[in-house]
Amino acid sequence: MQPVIKTFEFNHFQVNSYVVYDEAARQCAIIDPAAEASYEDAMLMQFIEGKGLSPTLILLTHAHIDHIAGLQQVCERFSLPVTMHREGRELLQHAMVYGGVMGFAVDGDALERLPVNEIVDGDTLQVGSIQIEARYVPGHCPGSMCYVLHDERSVITGDTLFHFSVGRSDLPGGDHRLLIHKIREQLLTLPSDYAVLPGHGIASTIGRENKYNSFLVYD
């Protein structure tokens, strides 16, 4: 059975959070748990419980505060570590500072104490029968990962690649040239029909971005 991907839009930054699940195995991965309000958290839980799923992975594309607004809750609720690239751990340590600037109420000490499962480029993660390939695509910020689901012909890109756009690189640790290079190397080499599922906004495809994304065509 192919994996199924459910998209939620959470918090005042309109982050796309994803639940990737194997219905037969009743297992799922939560990617970028960004639920900030209690009703958003309830929506996520209602879906997971309604499907009878057990989360086995909590993945981050990156640790910017808007993408981790609900991280503490899900890690503690399911007794799971957060799975992320090691270079993103510093962002977790500064979550309370960034949260104050961007309007998020977070417990920075609690986030810093969360157990972390570190991954690197090329790692394969398993959720039931689903294989998720981790690809390291820095440039938006340190520790940025994208997750390829070959059976679903999709890639979850976080804030690296959007519909006709790319991630901003003017925040600490950003590097525009590195971002463009890594997108071309790690993402645009995927088949053209692969869906691009970004951290904000609407979905696209690799082929469409390769042909029409002006950041990539003309840079």
Domain boundaries, the chain: 4-217
pTM: 0.95
> Which segments of the chain are extended strands (E)?
4-10, 15-22, 27-31, 54-59, 82-85, 116-119, 124-127, 130-136, 145-149, 154-158, 161-162, 165-166, 195-198, 204-205
Nearest one of 126, 157, 127 to 144, comparing CA atoms? 157
Please give the Cα distance from 167 to 174 (Å, whole number). 9
Q: Is 107 or 7 the better-scoring residue by pLDDT?
A: 7
Q: Tell me, what's the pLDDT at 100?
A: 64
Please give the Cα distance from 70 to 45 (Å, whole number). 12
Q: Max CA-CA distance within the chain? A: 47
Which 8-state DSSP code applies to residue 3? Answer: -
Q: Tell me, what's the pLDDT at 2?
A: 61
Any bridge partners for residue 4, and if so which? Answer: 21
Best CATH choice for the domain 4-217 from the list 3.60.15.10, 3.20.20.140, 3.40.50.300, 3.90.190.20: 3.60.15.10
Please give the Cα distance from 4 to 49 (Å, whole number). 16
Q: Tell me, what's the pLDDT at 92?
A: 81
Count the neighbouring beta carbons within 10 Å of the beta carbon of residue 211. 11
pLDDT digits 0-9 by tens, 23-66: 999 999 999 999 999 999 999 999 999 999 999 999 999 999 99
